[in-house]
Chain A
Amino acid sequence: MTTARDELPSSSPVVITGVGVLTPLGDKLAAVSGALRAGRHAIDTGADLGGAGESRINDFDATRYANIRGMRIYNRMTRLGICATKLALLDSGLEAAALPGEELGLVTASTFGHLDTLIEYDRSLVTAGLQRTNPAWMPLAIPSAPGAVIALSFGAKAFSITLSDGGVSSLDAVGLGARLLERGRARACIVVAGFAICDELSLAASRAGMLAPAEEFRVFDQRSRGTAFGEAAAAVVLERLEDARGRGAEPKAFVHGYAATFATKSSNIEGSLHRACTGAMRASRVSPAQVALVSASANGQLARDRAEALALVAALGETAARTPVMAVKANLGDTIDASGLLQSLAAVTALRSGIAPPIARLEQPQVPGLRYLREETPVDAGYALITSLSLSGACSALVLSARHET
């Protein structure tokens, strides 16, 4: 079997210097990590979903985080993205550093972030007619709109690219952002990802039998009956290590390698994710034995979770049974575009603290051979392997560390 080739061979590693999160479990990484370690989850029964679970940020008020002109006409995903970006920039100290806009790039991970605006706009055209439909909605109803607004809000002039890669969006966005920094396209790159609950999407997923009842939502568990959507946004500021050090910024994580694959008929999800994991490890020059922690994509869909577990067993080889595996979708639900970034940040926090959180409500793993965490567990320093899967069959993997491992 061939594997993806090396990516991110960097003379100066790319690092994360700022973090912003907005989740139902908190708007500070420490608070979210504390909730994860305590095994708390945010899955509740969704309104009008026949008992299916979902996770929402109930008290979100964008004005608490950012004062952006025009905020009131932006939809929820855009507001979440703006606020997460603001938090990440503050955390990085980059706002105070007054980086010229021409040196600041943005990669936005958003597949469905425009959808509620598009639905409202188009429905109004049909029911109320052209003249009674707010024309300001149109430019906000296209897939690139959340990213365009965020770039405008923060003056990102180097580039503004939106990736709509579903569940793999944010890992792809980190991979792209790092690559563009390495190529010298900017001095700093914001990667922002978000997913807001859209009623029509939830209804469609419910009718497709994808969603589990709230009390029966579990990941990696043989009794799982489906997934649950979760609302969240996350943002990070990426910089080259030398640039970060040059302005006295403290790296919060190191980006080592990334790989992406697609599950063709001949390779299926299991084989494709295996290729992505081995590709990311090889790009990072990391062996399976050096992987201290896996932050998995498992979202409660039985077939996907099974394929992911089998791929991890294969990719980690003889170390699979002793490498801790965490899975934060058990706590936050599947936050689609934001999921890879949230998994990444939870993993880095675990590496920094030396304690990894348990997989909430996991009781009967469907695939043996992995060390699924059932309680708070000490983890060694080293590398974290992050995995992502999309509904359409794409697989991405990323290797991070909390410190500059050698």
Chain B
Amino acid sequence: MQRRVVVTGCGVVTAAGTELDSFWNALMSGTCFIKPLRNFSAPDLEGLMGAEVDLPEADDLPEPGDHRRSRCGQLALAAARRALADAALPHGSEVRERAGVVLGTTLGSERQVGDLSERWAVHGPDSVDAGFLARCDNHSLAALVAERHGLGGPLMLCASACSSGNAAIALAYDLVASGVADAMVAGGADTLTRSIYCGFQRMGALSKSICRPFDKRRDGVSFGEGAGVLVLESLDEARRRGARIYAEVAGYGMSNDAYHVTAPDPNGEGFVRAIKQALSSTGTAPEQVDYVSAHGTGTQYNDLGEARAMKAVFGERAGRVPISSIKSMIGHTNGAASAIEAVACALAMMHETIPPTANLTEPDPECDLDCVPGKGRRARVDHCLNLAAGFGGFNVCLVLRRAT
């Protein structure tokens, strides 16, 4: 028998804030945190823009397991710590022994490889040290979180490119719903890397300024770093222990474009299948959807495909369903993006407000949707969709609804 699954804890570390309140207030104001980069550079690229996280000092303290710690791991740990504190998951060993971790990442250990590349240029094979293997093992991102918090359940690292965060939440949902685990810590983390900046630059998909999802002038992605983590529990257990419930994870849909290694299906056919499966598997009618959190990367192809998918799913109502992309403010955080956006969806339900799409001043006529430009909007949200797509074409659509 399937158990109902709810969100009882949220944690984010983003350029817009590292606590839920500051993060939410910043989003609602429509402030763009994509700025000239201070702590990161890439060869042959000048004037790079992105959204960097200022981690509080307390998140920078060395802790056990630090030999494997990376910037990405640090972000994951910081978001997980906040989510578990927010959920107030009991410390009893039996509870935590049956709680697991599923994290997603697009890039994971790329910075560790980057460090090696620089040493290799000088020292050759002597630059490979004994810790390289552990640092390149992305599974250690999830292990660091589980170790730190004494979580003894399933431990998985989902690498599904930029839909990794949503995929991790979907996998965690199944584990709780089917009773394999009593609670799951799920989300994603990623940081800024040389390879992704250089790769997007060569593909012509890196914005020259700031990303403008659904805008006629959009010219590509702006990257950000960050992490988003949610604590999922069964509804019964959450109620039994009196936990605060942000939202119910009603279920999910998934699809794969199998169209191209990098380009999405221009017609959004994969998006359509993922959304329709999400709606049908959760018994949600299209007219019940109050808000869609878009993948909204600011590339020509993605935004157009997403707009076409919205029209295919919602028909005449497509232009009246609010849809927004918070990547316009915190950048595209790759494997963390949809996890952070899932937190934003949960907060939208709680605060009865919808986050905006920033930098959207000249709407693309082909993306004629209600993209909530500028600032946040008061609106009751009972059902929302969180969309994500990744390189290779794997799409995941989560359905969150008000827990009743």
* Interface hits, A196-214 → B, CB 8 Å: 200-201, 203-205, 207-210
Q: Is the CB of B44 within 8 A of A262?
A: no
Min CB distance B303 to A, Å, is 19
CB within 8 A of A148: which of B143, B164, B167, B391?
Answer: B391
Q: Which of B43, B45, B150, B155 has the most CB of A within 10 A?
A: B155
Q: Is the CB of B199 within 8 A of A148?
A: no
Query: In the complex, what residues of A have CB within 8 A of residue B160's CB?
Result: 144, 147, 160-162
Q: Is the CB of A205 within 8 A of B152?
A: no
Given A163-B158, A176-B171, A151 and B258 touching (CB < 8 A)?
A: yes
Q: Is the CB of A161 within 8 A of B139?
A: no
Q: Which of B114, B118, B161, B164 has the most CB of A within 10 A?
A: B161
Q: Is the CB of B113 within 8 A of A172?
A: no
CB within 8 A of A118: which of B153, B195, B201?
Answer: B195
What 0/1 readout, one digit per residue, does chain B (277-298) give for beta carbons within 8 Å of chain A?
0000000000000000000000
Q: Is the CB of B174 within 8 A of A179?
A: yes
* Interface hits, B184-212 → A, CB 8 Å: 194-196, 198-203
Query: In the complex, what residues of A have CB within 8 A of residue B101's CB?
Result: 262
Min CB distance B270 to A, Å, is 8
Q: Is the CB of B157 within 8 A of A200?
A: no
A366 interface hit (Cβ, 8 Å): no
Tell me the dominant secondary structure on chain B's binding face. mixed
Min CB distance A266 to B, Å, is 6
Q: Is the CB of B128 within 8 A of A204?
A: yes
User: Considering only CB atoms and an 8 Å cut-off, how many residues of chain B contact the other chain?
Assistant: 85
Query: In the complex, what residues of B have CB within 8 A of residue A260's CB?
Result: 100, 153-156
What 0/1 readout, one digit per residue, does chain B (97-110) give for beta carbons within 8 Å of chain A?
11011000111101
Q: Report the bound CA distance from A26 to B254 in whole Å.
A: 36
A123 interface hit (Cβ, 8 Å): yes
Query: In the complex, what residues of B have CB within 8 A of residue A205's CB?
Result: 133
Query: In the complex, what residues of B have CB within 8 A of residue A119's CB?
Result: 113, 116-117
CB within 8 A of A201: which of B42, B94, B133, B151?
Answer: B133
Q: Is the CB of B202 within 8 A of A130?
A: yes
Query: In the complex, what residues of A have CB within 8 A of residue B130's CB?
Result: 204, 207-209
Q: Is the CB of B199 within 8 A of A138?
A: yes
Q: Is the CB of A131 within 8 A of B44?
A: yes
Tell me which of A11-19, A237-245, A295-303, A390-398 binds B.
A390-398
Query: In the complex, what residues of A have CB within 8 A of residue B139's CB?
Result: 111, 164-166, 390-392, 394
B178 interface hit (Cβ, 8 Å): yes
- Nearest A-chain residue to B204, judged by Cβ: A135
A307 interface hit (Cβ, 8 Å): no
Q: Is the CB of A179 within 8 A of B116?
A: no
Query: In the complex, what residues of B have CB within 8 A of residue A143's CB?
Result: 105-108, 138, 159
A265 interface hit (Cβ, 8 Å): yes
B136 interface hit (Cβ, 8 Å): yes
Q: Report the bound CA distance from A204 to B142 in whole Å.
A: 21
Q: Is the CB of B156 within 8 A of A4?
A: no
Q: Is the CB of A125 within 8 A of B151?
A: no
CB within 8 A of A266: which of B150, B171, B257?
Answer: B150
A129 interface hit (Cβ, 8 Å): yes
Min CB distance B257 to A, Å, is 7
Q: Is the CB of B129 within 8 A of A204?
A: yes
* Interface hits, A126-163 → B, CB 8 Å: 126-127, 129-131, 133, 135, 137-145, 147-149, 151-152, 155-163
Q: Is the CB of A122 within 8 A of B131?
A: no
Q: Is the CB of A125 within 8 A of B180?
A: no
Q: Is the CB of A267 within 8 A of B97?
A: yes
What 0/1 readout, one digit per residue, does chain A (332-345) give for beta carbons within 8 Å of chain B?
00000000000000
A91 interface hit (Cβ, 8 Å): no
Q: Is the CB of A201 within 8 A of B136?
A: yes
Q: Is the CB of A156 within 8 A of B256?
A: yes
Q: Report the bound CA distance from A260 to B155 in whole Å.
A: 7
Given A158-B255, A262-B100, A6 and B44 touching (CB < 8 A)?
A: no
- Nearest B-chain residue to A260, judged by Cβ: B154
Q: Is the CB of B117 within 8 A of A123?
A: yes
Min CB distance B342 to A, Å, is 17
Q: Report the bound CA distance from A265 to B93 in whole Å.
A: 11
Q: Is the CB of B152 within 8 A of A267?
A: yes
> Could you list 27 A-B pairs, sorted by A, with CB under 8 Å?
A5-B181, A102-B273, A119-B116, A122-B114, A123-B121, A125-B117, A126-B120, A138-B196, A141-B110, A149-B261, A151-B258, A156-B258, A157-B258, A164-B159, A166-B137, A200-B132, A204-B128, A205-B133, A260-B154, A262-B151, A262-B155, A264-B147, A267-B97, A391-B139, A392-B139, A392-B155, A394-B143
The list of the 4 closest CB pairs from A to B, nearest first, reads A148-B392, A138-B199, A135-B202, A143-B159
Known: A4-B153, A147-B160, A148-B161. 14 other contacts (CB 8 A): A2-B94, A5-B181, A110-B159, A112-B137, A118-B113, A125-B43, A125-B198, A126-B121, A129-B44, A133-B198, A179-B178, A264-B96, A265-B150, A392-B155
